[in-house]
Structure 1
Amino acid sequence: MTLASYETEIADSGREARERERDALNYGIDLLKCLQAGELTPIEQIEALLFIRRLWTFFIQDLSSPRNGLPEALRAELISIGLWIIRDADRLRHDKATDVDQLIAVNVTIRDALT
């Protein structure tokens, strides 16, 4: 394998990873929008919020890894955002909050920033 083809392979795998992250965020955003619209049963509501929690737990674990290629300051900011998302999803799950708008907006912003 030549250096150029190796670099292309790495770039392709990075794009594929971002695409998977976008797909997961899209799914989570769709669940949150259904929750907001009152289209989910109580069990589905819990499952939607747990999905967001698990997704961001995964992102935080990845961002915490020294092998993550993002700049350290950006990783720290995204971890902070992820912790907020997890806390907010937990508040919604435990009926201590009712506004899903901010949770949707933050996830949309993160999704749209993935390039």
Structure 2
Amino acid sequence: MHQFSYADIVSDAVNLARQHEAEAMDHAVELLERAKTKGSRSREATDAVLYLRRLWSYLIEDLASPDNDLPDKLRADLISIGLWIIKEAEQIRRNESENFDGLIEINAIIRAGLA
């Protein structure tokens, strides 16, 4: 019978959470790339924007939680990035921007940081 320490279990849970976050970022980048080829008035753009808003709203809520173990400065920086992403996505939704490249780049950088 295997004995697992609490630290091992917590570490595994953190690694699994990061893996899920990286997969969510992968999906966001895929949606944004499809939207970029179809344009800001496409169904693909709407899907990408809605997904980004949900994803980053969840991440911001988690980052703002006092239970989040990341350093305060990193949490604040990620929250700022998330707010910028939501704002940019909203501008695409309102046909005021087509900054898919910026959103793709930032989400890809964050995804790489989770790996």
Task: Decide whether the 8 Å contact of 1:29 with 1:104 is kept in 2.
Answer: yes
Matched, 1:65 2:57: no
Per the normalisation by structure 2, the TM-score is 0.92
Matched, 1:32 2:32: yes
Alignment of 1:42-57 (within 5 A): 42-57=42-57
Tell me the secondary structure at the aligned position of residue 46 of structure 1. helix
Instruction: After TM superposition, give the deviation of residue 40 of structure 1 in Å.
Output: 9.1
- Stretch moving more, 42-51 or 86-95: 42-51
Alpha-carbon separation, structure 1, partners of 2:87 and 2:28: 16
Q: Which residue of 2 aligns with 1:77?
A: 77
Q: 1:40–1:84: structure 2 CA closer, same or farther, 3 Å change rule?
A: closer
Instruction: After TM superposition, give the deviation of residue 39 of structure 1 in Å.
Output: 7.8
Alpha-carbon separation, structure 1, partners of 2:34 and 2:94: 18
Q: Which residue of 1 aligns with 2:96?
A: 96
Task: Decide whether the 8 Å contact of 1:29 with 1:108 is kept in 2.
Answer: yes
Structure 1 unaligned runs (5+)? none
Per the normalisation by structure 1, the TM-score is 0.92
Tell me the secondary structure at the aligned position of residue 38 of structure 2. coil
Tell me the secondary structure at the aligned position of residue 20 of structure 2. helix
Task: Decide whether the 8 Å contact of 1:34 with 1:40 is kept in 2.
Answer: no
Tell me the secondary structure at the aligned position of residue 97 of structure 1. coil
Q: C-alpha root-mean-square deviation of aligned residues, in Å?
A: 1.9
- Paired AA for residue 20 in structure 2: R
Task: Decide whether the 8 Å contact of 1:56 with 1:82 is kept in 2.
Answer: yes
- Paired AA for residue 21 in structure 2: E
Total equivalences in the alignment: 114
Q: Which residue of 2 aligns with 1:111?
A: 111
Tell me the secondary structure at the aligned position of residue 37 of structure 1. helix
